[in-house]
Amino acid sequence: MKKITAMGGGTGTFVVLSGLKKYEVDLGVIVNMMDSGGSTGRLRVQLGVLPPGDIRQCFVALSEAPDLWRRLFLYRFETGDLEGHNFGNIFISALEKVSKNYEEVLETAGFVLKTKGKVLPVTHEKTHLCVEYENGKVIKGEGSIDENRFEKSRIKTAFLEPSVSAYPSALERVLDSDMIVIGPGDLYTTIIPLFLVNGMQEALQKTKAKLVYVVNLMTKSGQTVNYSARDHLTDIEKYIGRPVDSIIIHKGIIDEHIVEWYVSHNEQRVVDDLGSDTRVIHADIADNTPVLHNKADKIASYARSILRHDGNRLAKAVVQLL
């Protein structure tokens, strides 16, 4: 059975996993552990736990448990002291507090949600994402980077503080995979942090797996202002330290009302300037149904996208590359 591993976090990786789990493949995911915004950020500060948000989304995406469990893990409280918190985040944080190690957290959550596939944190050490812009400004913390949405200067470099080591099982998964799917997701707050963990870049350079990069549909204010597809790819390959093998990019319509929403948030469609690059696969993989957000979600609307990839069509494009 072919072994496919997704790398990322957030809604982009949720979509990838939701589509791929329908195929007969050995599926796994290596998850970003630098989130510091919203419910996750509050739990990190108040309880001293690892960020649960992206791990929780991946467990739900791979879950084959009854629908009630999946709805519970996605439920967000709307009132009271827990307002804005997600039940799944609280559950995983509580598990961390009562478990002897993080391996037990992963095993228990996987058992409860009957996950099809492996969910692996990129690290189980605590760290924060930091970036330095070309204008010299330095911002520390993923949540703070997300909030710096009016920044026009490009990011010069990204780093972790403190430096941390990769989770050994995540490195083993990279080396043993037949294919690694990178993205989609926010370039500097979701994808690139994975490559900053000690040992991960070396593993990606050593693996014989085919590296597949899924290009984002839209730019991100404060992070990838005016970025084209080539800009995204250049930064990805810079931090991996090797070229990717295949690139999947959307070719098709994006609803004009959705585009208008992004323009109002200083964002735009990613321009396909990859030209005659033979690695590129064009496919109609956007879901033009606008995503509505829970009113209890305490992450500001500017930090949330309303456009997603279509999980089934994206998964089909990925599997065909095998």
How many helices and strands in the chain, by DSSP H and E? 13, 12
At 187-206, the pLDDT tens digits run 999 999 999 999 999 999 99
Q: What is the pLDDT of residue 304?
A: 60
- Rounded to whole angstroms, the Cα distance separating 96 from 228 reads 40
The mean pLDDT value for 148-169 works out to 96
At 304-322, the pLDDT tens digits run 678 999 999 999 999 999 8
pLDDT above 70 coverage of the chain, percent:
96
Tell me the CA distances in angstroms from 154 to 50, 137, 186, 220, one per residue in order.
29, 10, 14, 11
Domains of the chain and any CATH numbers: 3-35+120-320 (3.40.50.10680)
Tell me the CA distances in angstroms from 275 to 183, 236, 271, 281, one per residue in order.
21, 18, 11, 11
Whether residue 101 is predicted with pLDDT greater than 60 in this model: the reply is yes
Q: What is the pLDDT of residue 302?
A: 45
At 249-263, the pLDDT tens digits run 999 999 999 999 999
At 223-278, the pLDDT tens digits run 999 999 999 999 999 999 999 999 999 999 999 999 999 999 999 999 999 988 99
Q: Is the pTM of this model over 0.85?
A: yes
The mean pLDDT value for 207-229 works out to 97
Tell me the CA distances in angstroms from 223 to 108, 140, 153, 226, one per residue in order.
36, 14, 9, 9
CB under 8 Å to 149, separation ≥6 — which residues?
A: 221, 222, 265, 266, 302, 303
Whether residue 32 is predicted with pLDDT greater than 80 in this model: the reply is yes
